[in-house]
Structure 1
Amino acid sequence: MKKFSNPIKMIQIYKALISITLSLLLAFTAQTQITSSSFEISKNLDIFATMYKELNNNYVDELNHGELIKTGIDAILDKLDPYTVFISEAEIEDFNFMTTGQYGGIGALIHKQGDFIVISEPYEGSPAMKAGLLHGDRILKVNDKDTRGKSVSDVSSVLKGQPGTKLKVLVDRDGEKSPLEKEIIRENVSIPNVTHSMMLSDGTGYIKLSGFTQNSGKEFKEAFLKLKEGGNMKGLIIDLRDNGGGLMNEAVNITNLFVKKGELVVSTKGKSPDRNKSYKTFIQPVDTEMPLVVLVNAYSASASEIVAGALQDLDRAVIIGERTFGKGLVQNIIPLSYNTQMKVTVAKYYIPSGRCIQAIDYGHKDSTGRSAKIPDSLINTFKTRSGRLVYDGGGIIPDILTEQPMLSNISMSLISRYLIFDYANKFRREHTTILPAGDFTITDEIYTDFVGWLQDKDYDYTTRSEKMLSELKKTAESEKYFDELKNEFEMLQSKMMHNKQADLDKFRDEIKSLLRNEIVSRYYAQKGRVEAAVTEDTEIKKAIEVIGNQQTYKTILSGTDITSKSKS
């Protein structure tokens, strides 16, 4: 039987396990009194250390100690909430990016398409863009190492690295006879929190905030002041849709721009007294009078919900969109040994009205290990400063609720098979320039060309109706009714059978919008996407309407508008 061949390393492992046991025992021991809880901890850690020692001594094959211990750690944390995680040394760089918005690399999004890793989008001004990488370039090699068949994370880790270092990338590009080799110098890539700011119609300002990393408050303030320079801005739209949050202090900083000094923005409550803190605005605001509308959706979470919730509780902004995600938990980073870390949930946060908007009760899981949403029976009512009713237990409910229409099956198929992506690349090769992003449209001529280009492409799909009909057939067969219904079933199936060509016409406007967004990005990068999108965005149009009608705006904030919660 093969034994672990390095006794010195094994002794180090045993010492580490014993050290962990003793450290945790001391941490949970009050002077010389050992509580029931600390005894359970010490007992089970001793069992774990003994078990692992005997496992190593007796198991038939050599053990991968790092992998096994990591599996054990993950299994422990999996019993808690999904935000309490162990961060290995190898993962720290990715985690730092989440908090700082910066990383060393080439500055490009990538995805897998078939056997290849493909450039989805080079960031504007990034090393990738400077080197001439384009949307759709298939990465064949990085530093002479083949990437075919590799995962996105495999290739991403190779593309990232110390700023100032060089790498060679060999790409295959449609329209080129042979592969192209690009030399790229990695840089410190910084992803802006404010992805776009602009003046819309009728003097309404618009700021799209994509994250809450370091300096997001500073970025937001600079963008806002620049919009105000003209002197004729009569309202501001803050777009927090799809913003998953980030640093809580940055949420306080942004809220501070619009409410007076000394206002409570958020408070935290945890198991230990030092986690119970209140965070108030601490500097003079920039503007306490300008009408504000905050746009949110189901993917607005954490710090986004602090900003939206605080401005709602203080009756400082009208919230428009979908109910937000509902993340009311606070995490801290705790350094561990050997350059590892743990992100651990230490508290819940509460916005000014006193409500916590956490939607999932991770403390109670069913037999499958799933956590349920907080039931309606446990949801409490709170009041904003003007007396409007608001609720805890499930995200921020907007003052004006909207619904995002579901994409059609054909659109989902065209997106998932990268056909809209590929056509945009083809369009860019064939057209040197287009109109400005906000003015460019998909003409009937362009759409006809797209439909013709699709003729030899595979984009078949099954509609939801077809899936339900198939399930009905299986149920009827299992219950022995199908033979009696066969003729009616076949007739219904024939009528329901989707026609791709008909769907291309039926959902023409929807597909045109997707094409427009993708094509514009080939010429004007991420900012172009936003400029094109705002011209068609129904929620932005609703926000402009609310800001433009001061009576409606004030009525909603005063709580006298009984229709404000209706869908629009």
Structure 2
Amino acid sequence: MKFYIVMKKILPIRFLLSGLAIVLILGGALAFTVKNDRLFILTKNIDIFATLMRELDSYYVEEIDADELVTVGINAMLEELDPYTEYIPEEESEDFRQMTTGEYAGVGALIGNRGEGNIVIMPYTGFPAQDAGIRIADFLLNVDTVDVTDKTTAEVSELLRGPANTTVQVKVLRDQDTLNFDLTRKKIVISNVPYYGKLDDKTGYIKLAEFTTNASVEVRRAFEDLKSQGMERLVLDLRNNGGGLVNEAVEIVNLFIPKGREVVKTIGKLETVNYTYKTTKTPLDKDIPLVVLINESSASASEIVAGALQDYDRAVLVGRKSFGKGLVQTSLPLTYNAQVKVTTAKYYIPSGRCVQAIDYAQSRESGEISTIPDSLRKEFQTRNGRVVLDGAGIEPDEQVDPRKYAPISYTLVAGNHIFDFATEYYYKKEPVDNPRSFAISDEDYEEFVKFLEGREYDYTTYVEKSLEDLEKYAEKEEYFDEIKEELEAIKSRVNHNKEQDLITHQAEIRRIISGEIASRFFFQEGMIASGLDYDEDIEVAMKYLNNQDLMQNMLTASAK
């Protein structure tokens, strides 16, 4: 640097310009060389891969499946990058389209495997399976002429799907009866808003489960309907919403934020992926008190919505820290109708923060999942000056601990005992009038306890698990003989009693049973509605919505 300053003082200007030109030429040549080197390395390795495949096809002792082998190779290569960069072969392109658009042609039923075969888990409201009378827990026997009792869930789903307006015959076993249904496939559009309603006379609730095509339209319709019913405040539920289309997230933010505001900015290696998304419309309601629910499974587009509303101090966020996915994927076409979904950018919400929690480059080097240390997280500010941090998802304004269920409850659900009892209840009892207010009676619970007789549902309590761990460590460190008697005495005192646990945790178990029964009569909507009055996150949301001073204090810098 000193040499340059001195030379600048004594050299004629033409020599200086000539020198600058030489530097520019050399710099351009160097950049050209670097680019050429990268192209050479790329071309060389592609050639090696193609040569390897030809030689394997010629010389390997057995016939190889080239499609399968190349797919395995591509997937292994992409695993070195991040979990969101994916290869989509031609035969999976339709599934990928359905995932991103929420559309497919079929009968409109979610199915799952119960070990002994596939059953209907949930027929979607208003689609062929439900309209024809197919119900939850129907056991699938045949699809057209194909016996599906030993088929995988994916294979059965493939048989049920097909072009719209084509017919398919489905045979099911219901209790001891064999039933046949002739269904006409139709275009299935899975609702982004599986449920909305009113929590009380003034409070609306919208459950947003996806960000596929028309998500913002569905939220708008739900909002307008609730407003016509007298809604004066709103809870928007983004829990367990893994994200989707960015433009839908922007449109949903625009329902509550004025026109012309930045919602999210994408920044990547190429200029073509750099873009700032702004609100473009007059908001639906820029003043209605708003609480947004998030949790550890709220990701991507959910984090854009929650983060933008937090950055503008437009909503109070309640729940748990979100997933932390600040990466943007772009689908690129490949030859032979294949595609690759590749991470092309990171996104930044209005305060300037990126919510990405995992450093995949560092993780590759260390071999372990690497997150950003708290000490390296940067501070940003919301519009009102509240401090927010980057690098670890969206943190709620008020944290609510996740609900913990008793081990017996987990076991009864996992063992399908509650599922089976709800199915039996549906066919034996009177219809449920209102899923929101429905609760099983004392007599119903006694029937459930009898229903469990002879069924296996053993489990290990948290205390028993802790004692097991203590016993293992004591044996390793040779303390076991000294404390063996004390351990046995404690174990005999804490050994669980299933019958007693059915009494101790009765309230919790009854709520789960009531929700499962509600789903038999009202499907997905019933399952959601039945749990609203026992939801701790909603209780906290209502605390803010019922106290506007508390909400305003939370949304100002002085509260932090």
TM-score for the superposition, normalised by structure 2: 0.92
* Cross-structure match for 1:123: 124
Change in CA separation of 1:393 and 1:31 when aligned onto 2, cut-off 3 Å: closer
Tell me which moved more, 358-367 or 288-297.
Answer: 358-367
How many angstroms does 1:472 deviate by? Answer: 2.7
SS in 1 for 2:555: helix
SS in 2 for 1:494: helix
How many angstroms does 1:541 deviate by? Answer: 2.2
* Cross-structure match for 2:208: 209
How many angstroms does 1:477 deviate by? Answer: 2.5
The answer as to 2:351 corresponding to 1:353 is yes
Tell me which moved more, 467-476 or 534-543.
Answer: 467-476
Tell me which moved more, 543-552 or 88-97.
Answer: 88-97
Is this contact kept in 2: 1:425–1:522, CA < 8 A? Answer: yes
Matches within 5 A, 1:52-201: 52-174=53-175, 176=176, 178-201=177-200
Matches within 5 A, 1:165-564: 165-174=166-175, 176=176, 178-230=177-229, 232-365=230-363, 369-562=367-560
Q: Deviations over 1:135-158 (max 9, x none)?
A: 111112222222223221121111
The 2-side partners of 1:71 and 1:406 are apart by 40
Q: Deviations over 1:154-199 (max 9, x none)?
A: 211111111112222221111x3x4222222111111111112212
Change in CA separation of 1:482 and 1:166 when aligned onto 2, cut-off 3 Å: same
How many angstroms does 1:363 deviate by? Answer: 1.3
SS in 2 for 1:560: helix
How many angstroms does 1:48 deviate by? Answer: 1.6
SS in 2 for 1:119: strand
Change in CA separation of 1:410 and 1:99 when aligned onto 2, cut-off 3 Å: same
* Cross-structure match for 2:21: none
Q: Deviations over 1:279-299 (max 9, x none)?
A: 110111111111111111111
* Cross-structure match for 1:17: none
SS in 1 for 2:87: strand
The 1-side partners of 2:151 and 2:424 are apart by 26
How many angstroms does 1:559 deviate by? Answer: 2.5
Percent identity reads 46
The 1-side partners of 2:541 and 2:117 are apart by 42
How many angstroms does 1:33 deviate by? Answer: 7.6
Is this contact kept in 2: 1:315–1:385, CA < 8 A? Answer: yes
Is this contact kept in 1: 2:206–2:237, CA < 8 A? Answer: yes
SS in 2 for 1:364: helix
Is this contact kept in 1: 2:290–2:315, CA < 8 A? Answer: yes
Q: Which amino acid aligns with 2:192?
A: N
The 2-side partners of 1:367 and 1:289 are apart by 48
The runs of 5 or more residues in structure 2 that have no matched partner are: 1-29
The 2-side partners of 1:400 and 1:477 are apart by 43
Q: Deviations over 1:487-540 (max 9, x none)?
A: 112112212212111111111111111111110111112112222121222221
Q: Which amino acid aligns with 2:426?
A: R
Tell me which moved more, 217-226 or 389-398.
Answer: 217-226
How many angstroms does 1:312 deviate by? Answer: 0.3
Q: Deviations over 1:105-148 (max 9, x none)?
A: 11111111122101111111121112211111111222222222
The 2-side partners of 1:473 and 1:78 are apart by 40
Tell me which moved more, 365-374 or 147-156.
Answer: 365-374
Larger Rg: 2
Q: Which amino acid aligns with 2:224?
A: L
Tell me which moved more, 103-112 or 63-72.
Answer: 103-112
Q: Which amino acid aligns with 1:426?
A: E
Change in CA separation of 1:170 and 1:507 when aligned onto 2, cut-off 3 Å: same
* Cross-structure match for 1:49: 50
Q: Which amino acid aligns with 2:58?
A: N
Change in CA separation of 1:118 and 1:272 when aligned onto 2, cut-off 3 Å: same
SS in 2 for 1:54: helix
The 2-side partners of 1:438 and 1:478 are apart by 52
How many angstroms does 1:361 deviate by? Answer: 0.8
Q: Which amino acid aligns with 1:320?
A: V
Is this contact kept in 1: 2:109–2:129, CA < 8 A? Answer: yes
Q: Which amino acid aligns with 1:119?
A: V
Is this contact kept in 2: 1:87–1:341, CA < 8 A? Answer: yes
The 2-side partners of 1:247 and 1:367 are apart by 31
* Cross-structure match for 1:4: none
How many angstroms does 1:30 deviate by? Answer: 8.6
Change in CA separation of 1:367 and 1:461 when aligned onto 2, cut-off 3 Å: farther
The 2-side partners of 1:163 and 1:369 are apart by 47
The alignment covers a number of residue pairs equal to 531
Q: Deviations over 1:305-350 (max 9, x none)?
A: 1010000000111111111111111011101111111111100000
The 1-side partners of 2:198 and 2:514 are apart by 21
SS in 2 for 1:433: coil
The 2-side partners of 1:408 and 1:336 are apart by 50
Change in CA separation of 1:100 and 1:410 when aligned onto 2, cut-off 3 Å: same
SS in 1 for 2:463: helix
SS in 2 for 1:194: coil
Tell me which moved more, 474-483 or 503-512.
Answer: 474-483
SS in 2 for 1:97: helix
How many angstroms does 1:243 deviate by? Answer: 0.8
* Cross-structure match for 2:13: none
Is this contact kept in 1: 2:80–2:364, CA < 8 A? Answer: no
The 2-side partners of 1:126 and 1:549 are apart by 42
The 2-side partners of 1:42 and 1:377 are apart by 42
Is this contact kept in 2: 1:98–1:246, CA < 8 A? Answer: no
How many angstroms does 1:98 deviate by? Answer: 1.8
The 1-side partners of 2:534 and 2:90 are apart by 44
The 1-side partners of 2:409 and 2:214 are apart by 37
Change in CA separation of 1:367 and 1:422 when aligned onto 2, cut-off 3 Å: farther
How many angstroms does 1:95 deviate by? Answer: 1.4
How many angstroms does 1:202 deviate by? Answer: 4.0
* Cross-structure match for 2:8: none
Q: Which amino acid aligns with 2:459?
A: Y
SS in 2 for 1:344: strand
How many angstroms does 1:377 deviate by? Answer: 2.4
The 2-side partners of 1:554 and 1:68 are apart by 59
Q: Which amino acid aligns with 2:411?
A: S
The 1-side partners of 2:319 and 2:311 are apart by 16
The 1-side partners of 2:366 and 2:466 are apart by 26
Change in CA separation of 1:499 and 1:159 when aligned onto 2, cut-off 3 Å: same
